Every structure is written in structure tokens, then in C-alpha cells.
Structure 1
């Protein structure tokens, strides 16, 4: 049923739980996982350290994705990765487009990401993904 599972990761504890759930679904259904990390780029106006700040953000994103890929490999699940650098695009739209272009059957996301819960029950990122996704979304607390 779920052969192509897209899981959004950001390095938070709920994201780690979402990855675990995605791997379990893949194991149960003989599927594969695509690990997606959306690195939100902060534009630094002026100053000479813009490239350094961007480099630090890219290194952090690579660590998040690398850790998720190692977890998938340790679980014996076929996985690949997609690292997307966002310059003002909405998370829900990015995830929905990634799901469409890859032909995902399921999107898995943590209920709260790095940004925290805020005032919304599912966090703003998870809520965006639920509204925009072209396939079922599994939200993991």
C-alpha cells in the first residue's frame, strides 16, 4: 500500500519519531523512504560574514540528513535523500511538490518541528503540510 514514503526531517525529537514511523511503515509494506530536509535560508544583508553564515547552515542541514540516512541504513530500509534550500517558500508547498514529483504514497511528519508548537495544535509546518499534501499524511507526536 505505502511503497514510497516521504519523511520530512529537521533534527528535532518529533522529527526523529517521524523518521522511525516512516521506517516502520516502509518495513511493513516493503517500501522505501525519501528523507527530505528543508533548510530555510536566512538572508544576511550586508557584512562580510554572509558566506560563513550560509556555510554553517548548510553544514547543519547536511548533518540532519546524514543522521537520518544512517538511521535508515541501520534499520535496513532503502532510502535516499533530498536537501532543499528554501528562500522564502512555504514548507507545505515544498513538501507537497516533493511528494508529487517523487510519486510518494505517504508523507510522514513530526507534530512539532524545530520551531516548536506555537499556538497551533500541530505546529505551523505540520499544518501546512497537511493542507498542501497530495497524499495521506501521517503526523507523529
Structure 2
């Protein structure tokens, strides 16, 4: 079974569902969990510059998401560590796969992307891209509707 799980969380209902599933798997298999939140950045083109990179969330938001996840997992007796990373939206799948490889993870747990409207056409699916690139199993967890 799994020994090291990388759990991607974003503070959404899907992120909570990822934690629910990961906690269950970790308890069953004795796995440790590494929680990661990636603060998405966006390039804003304009004016005389080639583009400006801006974060789409406050700096403390990601830290709060990871801290809450770690408190929950550790409270359930699961060995857990975590981190906040930053990257362009397009880089998120590669960041997740690279971190999983660096940590020796044998499972990556992610929620589905939640882009709507035109954003769904402009941004690739993180979970789909992770599944294509990951050398390990990928668990896609959807929150109950």
C-alpha cells in the first residue's frame, strides 16, 4: 500500500475532500502525508512591460490552509509535514510531480480544477496534467455536491 502521500490542498471543498481521503488511506496503510499548497501566480500583460507576475491570493492564505491541514492530520495520529510553494498556474502540475519525486511519494492526491467559463478554456486541468506526468499513482478526489 502507500507509504508517502503528497496531498495538494487549496482551501476549497475539494481540498477538504482530499484530506478526508488521504487521512483514511494514511490510517489504513500507516503512510505519512506531505501537504502542499501552491500559491497560484498569474502573468498580467500590459503597457510597456512584457508582463507582471501577481499572486492571486494573500501570502498568509496558503500558510493557513497548510496549518489547518497539518493540525487535522496530526490530530488523527498521522505523521504529517507541509509546505507552501508558489508558481504560475501553468506550472502547478509540474511542481506537484517534482515535489512528489523529491519526497519519494508513492501517491499524489489532488482535487479537480474548478475553473468556470472562459477560464476553463484558458487553463489546463491541473489534475489531468498531473495524472499524465506523474510516475506514481494519482488519486482524484471530488467533494460531494
Q: TM-score range by the shorter chain?
A: 0.7 to 0.9
Cα 1:30–1:38 shift into 2, 3 Å = same
Q: Output the CA distance in 1 between the equivalents of 2:36 and 2:120.
A: 25
| CA offsets 1:36-76 (integer angstroms, 9 cap, x no match) | 1111134678xxxxxxx86x621111111111111112211
Give aligned pairs, total. Answer: 132
Unaligned 5+ segments in structure 2 are 47-53
Q: Output aligned runs, 1:1-141, within 5 Å.
A: 1-42=1-42, 57-87=58-88, 90-113=91-114, 115=115, 124-141=125-142
Cα 1:74–1:15 shift into 2, 3 Å = same
1:112 to partner: Cα distance: 3.3
Cα 1:43–1:92 shift into 2, 3 Å = closer
Q: Which moved more, 1:35-44 or 1:58-67?
A: 35-44
Q: TM-score, normalised by structure 2?
A: 0.79
Unaligned 5+ segments in structure 1 are 46-52
CA RMSD of aligned residues (A): 2.7
Q: TM-score, normalised by structure 1?
A: 0.81
Q: Output the CA distance in 2 between the equivalents of 1:87 and 1:107.
A: 19
Q: Output the CA distance in 2 between the equivalents of 1:16 and 1:116.
A: 20
Structure 1 residue matching 2:58: 3-state secondary structure = helix
1:88 to partner: Cα distance: 5.8
Maintained 8 Å contact 2:112/2:125: no
Runs (4 or more) in structure 1 with deviation over 6 Å come to none
